[in-house]
């Protein structure tokens, strides 16, 4: 096998992307309609990596688990399924259709501006065939500005006076925008309430305070596993200080509930293994430790 093929040489980290893309494809096959959830690739990939047959013979992962799929389209497809990638491709199709309109029906000066704006957007997309910097502000802000500049230019050259009076869609879009903005603000408020409830609790606080905060977080986000894990961690810490079986029993119960919500989080198996070891069930503890190490 060549020195650069298995990750030992300079090409290793770059070739890892092939495995990431294969992982994204496998995730999409299992969650094809709406995807596995925003930025969930990092959580799911280690599990899928174990079942991937590398396209490149003998290839193995040269580094740790990736934070993303290193491909904008693969990441979008695995995160949001066919609906998400379909909407994204439709958006890009509309964008390039407007670019073509401007090239065909605008002045030479405008064409030059449109060309360089389109070149910037296209370069961004090509770069994101092997990377995923979409959430980064320095990328998404510039990308959004370029898109809007094309849209503003198109509106300037194809005004309503030229194409006729606005139809119903002219009034529907602002209303939809206001609705989306309202939902975004409401979701953000809920998120910060959840984050505050889960993360603001400091070790050493009262048990009542911890239970109250985690219960609040569970109510805000019933499908989130973090509150269960956070409570179990604290209960285990309390057990080390005061070996009361009540703490172990409660921690185990929280871990089992949380693992049902997110079976891909190895921390649940790790903590459950600790509890089983404390209880003397070493064979099951070893099995769970091995499961956790797969991640």
Instruction: Dump pLDDT digits (tens) for 236-268.
Output: 988 988 888 899 999 999 999 999 988 878 889
pLDDT score of 2: 42
From CA 141, how far away is CA 128, in angstroms rounded?
15
Domain 184-293 has CATH 1.20.120.430: no
pLDDT score of 201: 60
pLDDT score of 211: 82
pTM for the model: 0.66
pLDDT score of 40: 85
Q: CB 1: neighbour CB atoms within 10 A?
A: 10
DSSP, residue by residue, 246-294: HHHHHHHHHHHHHHHH-TT-HHHHHHHHHHHHHTT-HHHHHHHHHHHHT
Residue 55 DSSP class: S
pLDDT score of 9: 44
Q: Which residues of the chain have pLDDT under 50?
A: 1-10, 161
pLDDT score of 8: 40
């Amino acid at each position: 096998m060549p020195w650069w093929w298995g990750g030992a040489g300079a090409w290793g980290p770059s070739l890892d992307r092939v495995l990431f893309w294969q992982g994204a494809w496998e995730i999409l096959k299992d969650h094809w309609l709406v995807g596995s959830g925003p930025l969930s690739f990092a959580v799911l990939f280690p599990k899928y990596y174990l079942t991937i047959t590398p396209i490149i013979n003998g290839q193995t992962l040269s580094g740790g688990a990736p934070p993303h799929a290193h491909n904008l389209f693969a990441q979008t497809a695995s995160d949001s399924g066919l609906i998400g990638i379909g909407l994204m491709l439709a958006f890009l199709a509309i964008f390039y259709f407007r670019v073509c309109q401007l090239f065909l029906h605008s002045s030479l000066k405008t064409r030059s501006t449109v060309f360089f704006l389109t070149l910037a957007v296209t370069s961004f997309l090509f770069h994101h065939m092997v990377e995923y910097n979409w959430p980064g502000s320095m990328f998404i802000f510039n990308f959004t500005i370029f898109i809007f500049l094309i849209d503003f230019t198109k509106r300037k050259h194809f005004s309503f006076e030229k194409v006729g009076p606005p139809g119903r869609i002219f009034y529907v879009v602002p209303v939809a925008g206001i609705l989306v903005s309202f939902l975004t603000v409401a979701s953000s408020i809920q998120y910060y309430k959840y984050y505050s409830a889960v993360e603001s609790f400091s070790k050493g606080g009262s048990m009542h305070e911890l239970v109250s905060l985690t219960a609040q977080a569970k109510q805000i986000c019933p499908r989130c596993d973090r509150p269960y894990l956070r409570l179990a961690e604290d209960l285990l810490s309390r057990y080390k200080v005061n070996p009361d079986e009540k703490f172990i029993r409660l921690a185990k119960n929280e871990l089992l509930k949380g693992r049902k919500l997110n079976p891909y989080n190895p921390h649940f198996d790790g903590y459950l293994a600790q509890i089983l070891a404390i209880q003397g069930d070493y064979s099951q503890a070893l099995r769970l430790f091995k499961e956790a190490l797969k991640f």
